[in-house]
Structures are given as C-alpha cells and as structure tokens.
Amino acid sequence: MNLVILGAPGSGKGTQAARIAEQGKIQHVSTGDLLRDAVAKQSPIGKQVESIMAAGKLVSDGIVLQLIRETLTDSDERGKWNGWILDGYPRNLSQAEALEGVLKDVGETVEGVVYIELDPDVIVERLSNRRTCASCKAVYHLVSKPPAVEGKCDSCGGELYLRDDDKPETIRKRLEVYDNETLPILGLYEKRYRVHRVDGSKPIDDVTTDITRLISL
Ligand SMILES: [Zn+2]
C-alpha cells in the first residue's frame, strides 16, 4: 500500500505515519529523516544538503524529490516493504504535481491518502503545553505528560522551556501557512485518489486504529 499522509503541524501526523508503517511493514518515508540520513551518510547530495542547511537556507524541492526518487527506486529496500507512506511531502500544490511526475517516472502510484483533521484551537492547546528539556531535549506535556517536579526534566534534571516553535503566536502562523499552502493539495487528491479523513482529536491509539481500519491494513 502506497500512502501519503497529510495533517497540520501538531496533528500527530509523524507519530501516526510511524505506527502505520510499523504495523503494515510499510516504509516510512519522512522527508525530514531523508535529509538527516543523507547528511549522516555524507552522500554527494548529503554534502550539498549539509552546506545548504549550514547557510540557514531551505533545501530545494529538487533535492527533496531526488531523495524520494532514490528511496523509491532502491530495489533492496523495496523488497523489504509492503509499500511506502510519504510523510512531510508534498507541502504545496506545485510539490504535489512534481511528485506525480516522479512517481510516474519510477512506475509508482499513490493508493490512498490519509488526512488527519484537527481543530486549530486544539492544536494550539496541544503544542503550547509542550515543554522541552534544555539539556537532553526530552519532551513533556503539561496536561498529558507532566514532569514529576515542575519545570525540571525527569531524566536529567535539566530546565524545561517553551520552544519558540511551540508558542501560540508561532503556531497560529504555521497553521495559516498550512491552510494556505498545504490544504489545497487535498482538493487535488480528492479528485484523483481515495482520501481517508481521520478525527485527530481522539487519543493516539484510537487514531491509529481508525486509520488502520480505513485503509484496511
Ligand atoms: Zn532532560
């Protein structure tokens, strides 16, 4: 099963993609991981990515697509998995169209789209309650996973803080970008593929169960 997973920042998209991948023996193709792996391996593209990121610039669509192409045409990998789930790409309509081109090229096709729906206010509430350890980067949640001692990391005693990315005003901005840039992809996918909408406000396990049922994993 070849899937694309879509959802706003804070919707639990990455977590769900990883779970679905594990349950269905599907390859989790996360663009963030692809970039990190390429840098770690110091492949020619990896070295390019490293210098782009070191300069504080954004990695181009072309590079990300190249990494996706390499992943989907790695026959050793293909043999190990029952398909793939694409997480973190596409993020806008032009990327979606470019992806179609690559898939056609490599003889692959999207077989289903999972869309995790979640109210923006719930996302803001979820993310703004996150606290990150300044030393070991462990992540806590003031409501669902509070530290034993307020403001201190359970595992290393480090100071917990609110990341800039998790501040309500930053989240609202990221959600706005998501609505304007990423959400239009849904319209395109609804015309071409089967889009499975999932209620992301449920507990994590229930969301996973809903997705596996919808895609009949
Ligand atoms: Zn810590």
pLDDT at 108: 94
- 3-119+168-214 has which CATH code? 3.40.50.300
> pLDDT digits over 145-158, tens only?
999 999 999 999 99
> pLDDT digits over 101-136, tens only?
999 999 999 999 999 999 999 999 999 999 999 999
Taking the centre of ligand 1 as the mean of its atom positions, its distance from the CA of residue 160, in whole angstroms, is 8
Taking the centre of ligand 1 as the mean of its atom positions, its distance from the CA of residue 159, in whole angstroms, is 7
Name the token pair of 203.
């507990």
CA distance 151 to 200: 28
Which one has a higher pLDDT value, 75 or 135?
Answer: 135
For 153, phi then psi, to 5°, come to: -75, 135
Taking the centre of ligand 1 as the mean of its atom positions, its distance from the CA of residue 165, in whole angstroms, is 19
pLDDT at 217: 74
pLDDT of 160 > 80? The answer is yes
Given a contact cutoff of 8 angstroms between Cβ atoms, the answer to whether 128 and 168 are in contact is yes
Taking the centre of ligand 1 as the mean of its atom positions, its distance from the CA of residue 15, in whole angstroms, is 21
Average pLDDT, the chain: 95
Task: Name the residues annotated as catalytic.
Answer: 13, 91, 130, 163, 174
pLDDT at 216: 86
Q: Domain ranges in the chain? A: 3-119+168-214
CA distance 179 to 169: 15
Average pLDDT over residues 170-185: 95
